[in-house]
Amino acid sequence: MKTNLVKKILLVPLTVAAVFSPMSTSLQSKEPTTYAKTQEINKTRELPLGDLGLTEQRSTQEIAQGVTHTSITRGEKSSKSYFTVDVAFLSQRSEAQTIADKLASKGFEPKILTIKNSPHNDIVKDVLGYLVRVGSFQTQSEADTLRKQLGAASFSGLRTTYSGYDDPSTTGPWSIQVLEIDRNQFKGTISTTLAMDKISGKETVSSIAKRTNALAAINGGYFVVGEKDGTPGDLAGISVLNGQLISEAINNRSSLILSGSKEKAQIQALSTYLSVHSSDGATRELDGLNRTNGLIRNCGGVGGDVVSELPMHDVTCSDSSELIQFQSIYGSETPKGNGLEVMLDDTGKVTAVRKQRGGKIPEDGAVIAGTGEAAEWLKEHAKQGMTLTVKTELLSEEGKVSLNERTTIFNGGPRLVENHQITVTAEKDGFFYDEEFFYRFGIYRHPRTLVGIKPNGNLLFVTVDGRSPEKSIGINFEESAKLMKALGAKDAINLDGGGSTTMAIHGQLISTPSDAAGERPIADAITILP
């Protein structure tokens, strides 16, 4: 793109201000980039974050034909917000009062907050619980000191927090990045890229963007972070790469389907049904793909998983008897452990039987690993020379989903907007199984990564920075839904967020990751490729 090209492709009518966006001097890209002048937003079109009348500015850049980036800042640090200490979250007011009375008897000054549900959530409950909170400070260090004093007074489960992260009347601030892809003008591709091009491993979004020469990239779906929950980097939900199913679904959970550059994207609740068929006529359920046997991150699996076969976000369910298929995209070797493994060639013929799990994955074949009863099934029906056939079926609420080489699917949830209506599927997608967890995850403000589909098929990829009182406090589920609708989305979904929320343009970070260590390595990214 030429250095003197400026396109004022803006999301809403604007009034020109007299200053340029600081983005024009800080962004370093492989091609010269030029931003439109910073714009002060028309108050009738401002974003639905905080009260009307907050300062809002936008600057827009075209980074390729059909791809625009808009940077939005809104609001300012609230003069009423403060650092404080959360002592307890209780389901009953009387229980909260008991804790508050105990605090008062030891010289502290507690207050009780009623945590209300949003009417936009699919949760049939008006009040989620009661939060006992102590202290009001201008700095986090002062609140940390109080937390230590509370601990010394025998109170446990304490959290230092910032009131602006859950105050409905906050004034912000918010820092938002929006990529809009015009499906009719954009000549490149939109795809998923795995960290290090395999499942077992993690990589930062900016590294992925540089490695693939992407125009832009954002973080993708939920994934396993630590070994106690499975294979680090494993997609914690469905993943389809170039038409190949590489990770099973958290059944009935909302997911994002991208099917080529010109075909309309979809948001659907998806389920997978997998089975193994032996040449001797025996058939068994296949529990999963390319993950550690027995550990089901976010639950929603099959075969008697504990504690549930329903989606439960940030919970790792277990199953002592599983068959898991490993393909070469997983990595070079399967996870080690007790059980049995069989190696298959590209026709499904059993070429070797291993009496322990953990060994090489053939490039053109696969490995099926069994534990418990499933290992006994393999011993009987997958002897050397026999043939195993794996069958997969992908279903949405509308029926069978066909895959082709252009199909890419990301796990996510909850759904935020459906057919122009704000409908947050918090309970359906497994985010409401415990009142305090949902308060911490869905009502509390965090960094978020969001994807929207406009009526004309254009795609919106959005990141909202968070966990910074000075720069951006983040948003909750309801605010995410309202934001996406205001940006023009007909349908929208939440992807992985928190410290994972990242956007890069030409390999350079545009968002500000919230982790103290900096940009977090993630499992997969949505890449906009030229």
Question: Tens digits of per-residue pLDDT, 104-121?
Answer: 999 999 999 999 999 999
Residue 22 above 60 pLDDT?
Answer: no
In a domain, 206, yes or no: no
More confident residue, 20 or 339: 339
In a domain, 198, yes or no: no
In a domain, 431, yes or no: yes
More confident residue, 524 or 14: 524
Report pLDDT for 42: 59
In a domain, 49, yes or no: no
Spatial contact of 325 and 287, defined as CB atoms under 8 Å apart: no
pLDDT digits (tens, 9 = 90+) for 351-395: 999 999 999 999 999 999 999 999 999 999 999 999 999 999 999
Rounded to whole angstroms, how far apart are CA atoms 37 and 383? 69
Q: Name the band, by pLDDT with cuts 50, 70 and 90, for residue 44.
A: low
Rounded to whole angstroms, how far apart are CA atoms 358 and 379? 16
Mean pLDDT of the chain: 91
92 plus 65 within the same structural domain: no
Q: What is the largest CA-CA distance in the chain?
A: 77
Report pLDDT for 6: 33
417 plus 394 within the same structural domain: no
428 plus 335 within the same structural domain: no
In a domain, 301, yes or no: yes
Domain boundary among 407, 442, 462: 407
More confident residue, 322 or 262: 322
Task: Give residue 207's Cα distance to chain centre.
Answer: 19
251 plus 367 within the same structural domain: yes
Residue 2 above 60 pLDDT?
Answer: no
pLDDT digits (tens, 9 = 90+) for 124-172: 999 999 999 999 999 999 999 999 999 999 999 999 999 999 999 999 9
92 plus 126 within the same structural domain: yes
Report pLDDT for 195: 97
- Domain membership of residue 182 as a residue range: 22-43+54-77+171-192+413-529
Domain boundary among 384, 407, 430: 407
261 plus 378 within the same structural domain: yes
Report pLDDT for 212: 97
Rounded to whole angstroms, how far apart are CA atoms 195 and 215? 17
437 plus 394 within the same structural domain: no
Q: For 139, what's the count of Cα atoms within 13 Å in the CB-facing half-sphere?
A: 3
Give how many domains the chain has, as a whole number: 3
184 plus 330 within the same structural domain: no
In a domain, 102, yes or no: yes
Q: Name the band, by pLDDT with cuts 50, 70 and 90, for residue 263.
A: low
Q: Which of 417, 414, 448, 441 is nearest to 429 (CA)?
A: 414
Burial of 141 from C-beta contacts in 10 A (0-12 / 13-18 / 19+) = exposed
Report pLDDT for 16: 29
Q: Name the band, by pLDDT with cuts 50, 70 and 90, for residue 264.
A: confident
Tokens standing for residue 131: 């939060």
Give CB contacts under 8 A, 24+ apart, made by 55-60.
57/17, 57/21, 58/10, 58/11, 58/14, 59/20, 59/21, 59/23, 59/24, 59/35, 60/7, 60/8, 60/9, 60/10, 60/11, 60/35, 60/36
507 plus 442 within the same structural domain: yes
91 plus 232 within the same structural domain: no
- DSSP single-letter state for residue 306: B
146 plus 176 within the same structural domain: no
293 plus 345 within the same structural domain: yes
Q: How many CB atoms lie within 10 A of CB 413?
A: 29
Report pLDDT for 8: 34
Domain boundary among 383, 407, 431: 407
Residue 454 above 90 pLDDT?
Answer: yes
In a domain, 364, yes or no: yes
In a domain, 258, yes or no: yes
Query: Looking at residues 262-277, what average pLDDT do you find?
Result: 91
Report pLDDT for 43: 55
Q: Which of 376, 439, 458 is nearest to 66 (CA)?
A: 458
Query: Looking at residues 415-431, what average pLDDT do you find?
Result: 97
Alpha-carbon dihedral angle through residues 333, 339, 345, 349, given to the nearest 10 degrees: 180
More confident residue, 26 or 145: 145
Report pLDDT for 62: 96
- Domain CATH number, residue 156: 3.30.70.1070
Rg (the chain; Cα; Å) = 25
